């Protein structure tokens, strides 16, 4: 029998997910954020209701198409953000979600990253809908390798999928196989994401 490698908290949120969008009409929400990782097949959608005076999140529903880790991560996130201001919720990181869950296996950390990205996309959507574009902090991914159009987001995904060296990154993204001028910057970005997600 295969050993269960997840915490009891992950198991609970997987088997009893909180705040799933079921019968509610998505159009009744004030904002929506969608993100996905084609490499693993997970997709997350986060719906928010917001108090327009206090700019606090009064409700958070979600739909996730993915594995147990993706479901548990989004369920936990939906509980964490209720009552938070939009600015405070935007500062939630994948590490915060991981800590609340009691951790995830290294090859499943990308699920918690998708959760906080979907949340930020929903927060940005609220700001756009209400003429507060100056509050939006999420920018498009920066291109590191211009020859092959490899972005910081591509490097982050590679790290979350197991890349720990430049050679492993290159195998996954082909970065630096053009002119090669990006190698130093790619190594710096690679190291920063390894430290961010795994503390190595």
Tens of pLDDT, residues 93-138: 878 888 899 988 776 776 667 788 889 999 999 999 999 998 887 6
Q: What is the pLDDT of residue 61?
A: 97
Please give the domain boundaries of the chain with CATH numbers for all domains.
Answer: 8-135 (3.90.1010.10), 143-198 (1.10.10.1100)
Q: What is the pLDDT of residue 138?
A: 60
Catalytic residues: 40, 111
The mean pLDDT value for 43-49 works out to 92
Whether residue 1 is predicted with pLDDT greater than 70 in this model: the reply is: no
Q: How many CB atoms lie within 10 A of CB 32?
A: 18
Contact between 118 and 33 (Cβ < 8 Å): yes
DSSP string, the chain: -PPP-S-HHHHHHHHS-SSB-SSS-GGGSSEEEEEEETTTTEEEEEEEEEETTTTEEEEEEEEEES-HHHHHHHHHHHHHSTT-BHHHHHT--HHHHHHHHT---GGGHHHHHHHHHHHHHHHHHHHHHTT-GGG----PPPEEETTTTEEHHHHHHHHHTT--SHHHHHHHH-TTSSS-TTHHHHHHHHHHHHHHHH--
Mean pLDDT score of the chain: 86
Q: pTM, whole model, 2 decimals?
A: 0.71
Whether residue 2 is predicted with pLDDT greater than 60 in this model: the reply is: no
Q: What is the pLDDT of residue 143?
A: 83
Q: What percent of the chain has pLDDT over 70?
A: 90
């Amino acid at each position: 029998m295969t050993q269960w490698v997840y915490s009891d908290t992950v198991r609970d949120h997987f088997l009893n997910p909180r705040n799933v969008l079921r019968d509610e009409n998505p159009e009744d929400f004030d904002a929506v954020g969608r993100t996905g990782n084609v490499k693993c097949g997970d997709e997350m959608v986060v719906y928010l209701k917001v108090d327009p005076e206090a700019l606090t999140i009064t409700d958070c529903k979600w739909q996730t198409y993915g594995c147990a880790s993706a479901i548990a991560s989004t369920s936990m996130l939906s509980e964490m953000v209720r009552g938070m201001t939009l600015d405070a919720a935007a500062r939630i990181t994948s590490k915060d979600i991981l800590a609340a869950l009691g951790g995830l296996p290294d090859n499943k950390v990308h699920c918690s990253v998708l959760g906080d990205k979907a949340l930020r996309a929903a927060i940005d959507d609220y700001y756009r809908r209400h003429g507060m574009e100056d509050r939006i902090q999420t920018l498009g991914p920066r291109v590191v390798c211009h020859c092959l159009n490899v972005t910081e987001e591509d490097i982050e995904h590679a790290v979350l999928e197991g890349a720990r060296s430049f050679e492993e990154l290159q195998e996954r993204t082909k970065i630096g196989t053009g002119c090669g001028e990006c190698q130093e910057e790619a190594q710096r970005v690679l190291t920063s994401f390894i430290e961010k997600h795994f503390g190595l």
